[in-house]
Amino acid sequence: MTQFTDLGLAKPLLKALADEGYTTPTPIQAQAIPGVMTGRDLLGIAQTGTGKTAAFALPILHRLGEDKKHAPRRSARVLVLAPTRELATQIGESFKSYGKHMGVTVAVVFGGVKYGGQMRAMAGGVDVLVATPGRLLDHLGEKSITLDGVEILVLDEADQMLDMGFIVPIRKIVRYLPKAPRQNLFFSATMPSEIEKLSGEILNPNPLKVSVTPQATTVDRVNQRVLFVEQSRKRALLGELFDDAGFKRVIVFTRTKRGADRVARGLEQSGVDAVSIHGDKSQGQRERALAEFKAGKVRALVATDIAARGIDIDAVSHVVQYELPNVPESYVHRIGRTARAGADGSAVAFCADDERNLLKDIEKVTRQRIPSFDRRNDKHLGAATAAMPDVGGKPERADTRGSQPHRGQHAPKRNRNHSGGGGGGGGGSRHEGAPARSAGDKPAFKGPSRGGDRGRGGGSRSGAGGGGSSAPRPTGVWSNR
């Protein structure tokens, strides 16, 4: 088995890896590091959680160490573009950690904070600049940052850049780069046509191609299950799941900012320590929430998709998709928050009637059928699911409590298209598939969004009650497909 010591990395890097307890590279690291060390361009197809940050950070640091020189004022030798503040911060921390015995200088630039500190950090030039596209363009426009010294360009999570409308800003940034030959490293979890076109524009001919997993497949170590539940019962079910002590460190995903805050409040009312994180939170609030979650001070972190690729925390026991994402590829990135660093993990997806089409889209993209809950084999979901029927039978009531409507409610009607089941999880707040950003981090042009408007809250196509057949629908929590 290949070890880091077999890859020819500089001794200071090997010492830093040993300090972190890393000895064996992941598949993408083993395949990418030798080629990148020689200066080749790279096209990497890798889903989140595969270790791709080290796959580019380690060989880049090796190259910087072999050719030591100072970057020009207000510039950098390496530019890494990332879609979110959290991911940019994470990448910056990785460069600092791996390069701690090399004296490497790193600056991280993103929106939502004042410009002064970023300008001071860049004034003398740095080895590595990690930036979000919107804020970087602002600095370039003010000439507080230049890209004259960039020798290596890294584009991370390119497909999320597409979802967030950053493709045009990226093309503008590339035009600021020097014309001299440079090394380009391009990473994406999926390869839609627009991303393939962008890679062709940025990469030099005949790049090294590394694909560690088929397009959009999910992490093999994640135990995935879908739980069919009425929209109105999701909150109660989520609280019941946390009755299981096995749900130690859990990330809960919602589609909207308002929904994230609402779910976090609901968990707190149930006695579960929880915090929320989304685009409307200040940078300080987001950093505090992540720190509390990482330190184990709270059991649940409720997040929108803006956080799906920016959270790199070990020992996340479960990911719960309280609402299915509008963009099916986001399902992959959400569940990638668990089963990291070689560990196992579990992912639970709630699916209401008005989300069944979203589930079909996810299964089409991931090329798999996500298993329904099976009481006989799914002990990892805990006691909260004891009343759920086994898969395979006809739809039935989950428990005897569900035979009558809840007080003050009418029993929803069965709809032939399964599109009933009262209002959705959004509450009408802004969808965050393409989040609003703070000043300086807003793309100059809103690019294409693959998410559309499907699956938002506020009812289904056939109305809030889901009219149709006059036969009453059972009001228990669970149902089969």
Q: Which of 90-94, 227-231, 428-432, 462-466 has the lowest mean pLDDT?
A: 462-466
Max CA distance (Å), the chain? 77
Judged by average pLDDT, the poorest of 101-105, 350-354, 378-382 is: 378-382
Report the pLDDT averaged over residues 342-367: 87
pLDDT given for residue 449 in this prediction: 38
Give kind and range of the element (H or E) at residue 57.
Answer: helix 52-66
Alpha helices (runs of H) in 279-378, residue ranges in sequence order: 283-294, 329-335, 356-366
Interior angle at CA 200, CA 441 and CA 134, nearest 5:
5
Pairwise pLDDT comparison (115 vs 375), residue with the higher score: 115
- Give the N- to C-terminal CA distance of the chain in Å, as an integer: 43
Q: In the predicted model, what is the mean pLDDT of the chain?
A: 78
Q: Can you give the residue ranges of every domain in the chain?
A: 4-211, 222-403
CB 187 within 8 A of CB 52: yes
Q: Cα separation of 87 and 163, whole Å?
A: 15
More confident residue, 344 or 317: 317
Confidence of residue 372 (pLDDT cuts 50, 70, 90): confident
Give pLDDT tens digits for 25-35.
988 999 999 99
Output the pTM of the full model. 0.59
Type and span of the H or E element at 251: strand 250-253
Pick from 381, 315, 308, 310: nearest CA to 343: 315
Q: How confident is the model at residue 308 (pLDDT cuts 50, 70, 90)?
A: low
Would you put residue 91 in left (φ > 0), alpha (ψ -120 to 50) or beta?
Answer: alpha
C-alpha neighbours within 13 Å on the C-beta side of residue 405? 10
Residue written as tokens 């790049």? 207
User: Where would I find the beta strands (DSSP E) of 337-445?
Assistant: 345-351
Confidence of residue 451 (pLDDT cuts 50, 70, 90): very low
The pair of structure tokens assigned to 37 is 């060390």
Of 70 and 20, more confident: 70
d(CA 467, CA 477): 19
- pLDDT, mean of residues 11-21: 93
pLDDT in tens, 283-301: 788 888 988 998 999 999 9
Question: Which pLDDT score is estimated for 307?
Answer: 59
pLDDT of residue 222: 82
- pLDDT single digits (tens) 376-426: 455 545 444 544 444 333 333 333 333 333 333 443 443 434 433 333 343
Assign 309 a pLDDT band (cuts: 50, 70, 90): low
Residue 162: per-residue pLDDT? 81
Whether residue 472 is predicted with pLDDT greater than 50 in this model: the reply is: no
4-211 and 222-403 have identical folds: yes
463/103: higher pLDDT: 103
pLDDT given for residue 260 in this prediction? 93
| Three-class DSSP category at 303 | strand
Which CATH superfamily hosts domain 222-403?
A: P-loop containing nucleotide triphosphate hydrolases (3.40.50.300)
Task: Tell the burial category of 181 from Cβ atoms under 10 Å away from its Cβ (0-12, 13-18, 19+).
Answer: exposed
Buried b (16+ CB within 10 A) or exposed e, 331-345: bbbbbbbbbbeeeeb
- At 118-145, the pLDDT tens digits run 999 999 999 999 999 999 999 999 999 9
What is the structure's pLDDT at 432? Answer: 45
The CATH number for 4-211, chosen from 1.20.1250.20, 3.40.50.300, 1.20.1630.10, 3.30.70.260, is 3.40.50.300
Question: 145-182 pLDDT, tens per residue?
Answer: 999 999 999 999 888 888 778 899 999 999 999 987 89
Compute the chain's Rg from CA coordinates. Answer: 23
pLDDT band at residue 374 under the 50/70/90 scheme: low
Q: Which pLDDT does position 397 carry in this prediction?
A: 33
Say what the pLDDT of residue 481 is.
Answer: 46
What's the confidence (pLDDT) of residue 368?
84
The percent of residues in the chain predicted with pLDDT above 70, rounded, is: 72
When pLDDT is cut at 50, 70 and 90, the band that residue 337 belongs to is confident
Give percent of the chain above pLDDT 90: 49
